[in-house]
Structure 1
Amino acid sequence: MKARTRIPLTNSWSHAMQVMSHEIRSIKDPGKRLEILEAGCGPRWHLDIGDDGHVLTGVDLDPEALRIRRDETKDLHEAIVGDLRTTDFGHRTFDVVFSSFVLEHIPGAQQVLENFNRWLKPGGLIIIMIPDPYSAYGFTARMTPHWVHLLYYRLIRGQKNAGKPGFGPYPVIYDKAVSREGIRAFCEENGLVLTAEYGMLSDPLKSNFKQQLVKAYTRTLQVLSLGRLSSEYNDVIFIIRKPALPSRADLQVSAALPI
């Protein structure tokens, strides 16, 4: 395992949400409605993109997760039970494809990434959040059985519903494409622009004893790995842009240029 290059860090969960919200607002044209796909649905839509000038479609394999979003959280305009590998949204359907802590659970994640690109309009954004498999946290998730993850969510993070229908954690797979190197390669192979990459702690910083134990563990793992497994962050945010199509005026200028 090679030493990892450093990446910029967000300083809190709320700061990470602000960064991603700002990116989405940057492509929003006044008077036009953004079509957004949430590929895999968490408890709620965390981003703030201003007024209600958007349509949020959620797709997930877990019908209970979708029921909670549709009937209790009530922030989805459309909820679809489906597999991201086989669901068909056609071509150039969405302005934004947002996927938060989903790809690491999917065998065949490369196909999902290719679908994201196909579903995205030119000029649109793909925003992906995954636990970095080569952070101390992600390495531990890859190397431990699922029952350990359940105990961590229930005892350390205090999520009493963890593992129940509609609630994570779900078993992790970590296909080859689901890594910093894999996402970069996907962008390069498909003409996409990786405009930003951030490291992020998965939880707000806390000072209780359990959190301090987790921090001590991840720092120890970083030392034992000679710095290859970072304890500075757990998760990675990728902000990916699909180049816009040239305008008719651009094409006319290009055609008029001498060869």
Structure 2
Amino acid sequence: MIDDNQIFLEVKDHSVSGEQFKLVLDKYEDILETSPQPSAENLPKYYQSEDYISHTDTKRNLLERVYHLIRKRALKNKLSLINSFQPEEKTLLDVGCGTGDFLKTAKEDGWRVSGIEPNPEAREIANSKTKSSVFDVPKLSEFNANSFDVITLWHVLEHLPNLEEHLEIFKHLLKPNGHLVIAVPNYKSYDAEYYQSFWAAYDVPRHLWHFSQNGIKQLFEGFGFVCKKTVPMPFDSFYVSLLSEKYKKGFMNPFMAFWVGLRSNLKAKRSGEYSSLIYVFKKA
């Protein structure tokens, strides 16, 4: 039974089912949990949409073209970030790798790459780009301990059930002093505040968890990770606002989306509360 004091917001699944969900305060401070969470058997049906962009390379409309334009720029930034760690062996695991563009970019730069992707169509595309380095979810528990210098989750952590179990696995797989790179939406950003239940980055029930800076840092510190730095993702505010406008008004309204995204970034320059943030954690 959920106490009314636990309910932060009620949000609709705008993209697939039309069902209503609650965002409730989790046991960790400042982390919200989607309630009810779909069972493992039912969760895949909420991903059955041609509009789920990370599972396709199509560019059919303005939203998809914007997504791929941002992704192209983001790939360079992501590669620069992991190269800054200067690991000797350059072993990388990308969890939830989608269609494999980041793995392909890293491999071309000399990284030894592996990926995890549950969607079979996206996994097939990723394997065509990386020459069979991408596996289904069960493989995650089969890698040897201390296998990777870097593990990345680009907008993936919020999708994972059994959150604590996954953090233990990542800690097990990372080498001593290895880096865990997490990118997640920030529900304390201005665009989240502006759009409220229409904020596209809530994306219930595919997003099972919703993080603030304080919440995610406390969570990972409890599992023996140290947050070395956070990196803003300023382009996300524009993309998320564009999709949020569609949910709120029935059309994308790019001018309003640009204005809200810009205001979000300008406010975040002072507050640090960007629409999405990358967290660099180091295994203690």
TM-score (norm 1): 0.60
Aligned residue runs from structure 1 range 76-115, under 5 A: 77-82=132-137, 87-115=141-169
> Given the alignment of the two structures, is residue 211 of structure 1 paired with residue 254 of structure 2, yes or no?
yes
Question: Partner of 1:241 in structure 2?
Answer: 282
C-alpha distance after superposition, 1:83-112 (max 9, x if no partner): 69x734242111110101111122332322
Question: Partner of 1:22 in structure 2?
Answer: 80
For the Cα contact (< 8 Å) 2:181–2:280, is it kept in 1?
yes
Report how far residue 119 of structure 1 moved: 1.0
Pairwise CA RMSD: 4.2
Aligned match for 1:38, one of 82, 94, 116 = 94
Aligned residue runs from structure 1 range 162-177, under 5 A: 171-175=205-209
Cα distance in 1 between the residues matched to 2:238 and 2:193: 20
C-alpha distance after superposition, 1:35-77 (max 9, x if no partner): 2111001333348558543221111211111111112xx1365
Cα distance in 2 between the residues matched to 1:102 and 1:196: 19
Aligned match for 1:199, one of 229, 232, 235 = 232
Distance change >3 Å, CA 205–CA 102, structure 1 → 2: closer
Q: Which has the higher contact order (CA 8 A, sep 6+)?
A: 1
What percent identity do the matched residue pairs reach?
Answer: 24
> Given the alignment of the two structures, is residue 66 of structure 1 paired with residue 123 of structure 2, yes or no?
yes
Question: Partner of 1:250 in structure 2?
Answer: none
Cα distance in 2 between the residues matched to 1:219 and 1:23: 24
For the Cα contact (< 8 Å) 2:167–2:223, is it kept in 1?
no
Where structure 2 has 5 or more consecutive residues not aligned to the other structure, the ranges are: 1-7, 9-29, 31-69, 243-251
State the secondary structure of the residue aligned to 2:99. Answer: coil
Aligned residues: 201
Question: Partner of 1:155 in structure 2?
Answer: none
Where structure 1 has 5 or more consecutive residues not aligned to the other structure, the ranges are: 5-11, 153-168, 244-259
| Counterpart code for 1:132 | N
| Counterpart code for 2:96 | G
Distance change >3 Å, CA 70–CA 141, structure 1 → 2: farther
For the Cα contact (< 8 Å) 1:13–1:202, is it kept in 2?
no
Moved more, 192-201 or 42-51: 42-51
> Given the alignment of the two structures, is residue 54 of structure 1 paired with residue 111 of structure 2, yes or no?
yes
Larger radius of gyration: 1
Distance change >3 Å, CA 50–CA 105, structure 1 → 2: closer
Distance change >3 Å, CA 236–CA 17, structure 1 → 2: same
